[in-house]
Amino acid sequence: MSRQLIKFDERENRIVRKISSVLYIVTLFSLIVFQLYRQFVLNQTSEEWNDIAILISFNAIVWIGTSLYLTGVVNPKVVRVRNLILGFTGFVILGSVLTVLKYSVLLKQTLNMSLILDSFFIVLMISALLMGLWWLLAYFGNKRMEKRIN
Amino acid sequence: MSMKTPARMNLRLARIEKNLTQQELADKVEASRQTIGLVEKGGYNPTLDLCLRIAKALDKTLDHLFGEENHNE
């Protein structure tokens, strides 16, 4: 019987996946540490560490989205409107705080009303887009799963 | 969290009864010898799919090989 040099069975696949998961978390946390180091220790401008910040954000958004879609466990039909509003409000508050910190602490800009309103509008739009995207993925993921089991 | 699984003495006995080495059984069920060894020793909890393949290869029932009352620590 001819044998392949490496042919993983279920146990070995499980081990490889576990290693990959752990290393993914290590990589992601390392990126966060690198970004904070550049930002606060090296005092680099936001343009210099934006690449890492975008990578971290992209990872988090895609990770949450694909988890919602592929697991299909969240049934958007039974999600309460109150929870959606709470989630959205949380996003807006977090986004607003981070935006204020960005302008006042990092960029050392004086905040005027026009800047605050512009930033608040962007935060609202991004929060709505993210919530909408995740809700859609959860909806289609759940629909796909129901189709598979029925 | 890893759970200690019990040793599968019936699996080892059924394999010996069939005159199969761990490697031969592993080849039949498309697993590695290490995996079969660990299943026998209780170091790995196989999926239902692998359990079914092992049971088929050894001409035994799942209950005989992996049933609760057949566990030996």
Residue A1 sits at the chain B interface (C-beta within 8 Å): yes
pLDDT at residue number A118? 86
* A4 touches B: beta carbon within 8 Å: no
Picking from B1, B27, B35 by the largest number of A CB atoms within 10 A of its own CB, the best residue to mutate is B35
Is the pLDDT at B1 greater than 50? The verdict is no
Residue of A nearest to B35 (CA): A11
Looking at the predicted structure, is the pLDDT value of residue B31 above 90? yes
CA A130 to CA A124: how far, in whole Å? Answer: 10
DSSP A90-105: HHHHHHHHHHHHIIII
Shortest Cα–Cα distance, B38 to chain A (Å): 10
Give the distance from residue A72's alpha carbon to the nearest chain B alpha carbon, in angstroms.
22
Give the Å distances, CA to CA, from A112 to A45, A104, A115, A119: 21, 11, 5, 11
Q: CA-nearest residue of chain B to A9?
A: B31
pLDDT tens digits, A9-44: 999 999 999 999 999 999 999 999 999 899 888 888
Confidence at residue B5, expressed as pLDDT on a 0 to 100 scale:
59
Distance CA A35, CA A44 (A): 10
Task: Quote the pTM value.
Answer: 0.74
Separation between Cα atoms, residue A64 and residue A81, nearest integer Å: 20
**Is the Cβ of A6 closer than 8 Å to some Cβ of chain B?**
no
Domains and their CATH numbers in chain B: 9-66 (1.10.260.40)
Q: Which of A1, A7, A11 sits opposite B44 (nearest CB)?
A: A11
The CA distance from B40 to A84, in Å, is: 49
Token couple for B50:
């692998």
Pair of tokens at residue B44: 């790995």
Distance from CA of A138 to the nearest CA of B (A): 28
Helix (H, G, I), strand (E, B) or coil at A49: helix
Q: Do B46 and A12 touch (CB under 8 A)?
A: no
**Which structure tokens are listed for B7?**
């040793």
Distance to chain B for A1, nearest Cα, Å = 9
Residues of chain A with pLDDT under 50: 1
The pLDDT value given to residue B2: 46
Supply angle C-alpha A11, A14, A18, rounded to 5. 140
Q: Domain locations in chain A?
A: 10-149
C-alpha angle A58/A61/A63, rounded to 5°?
100
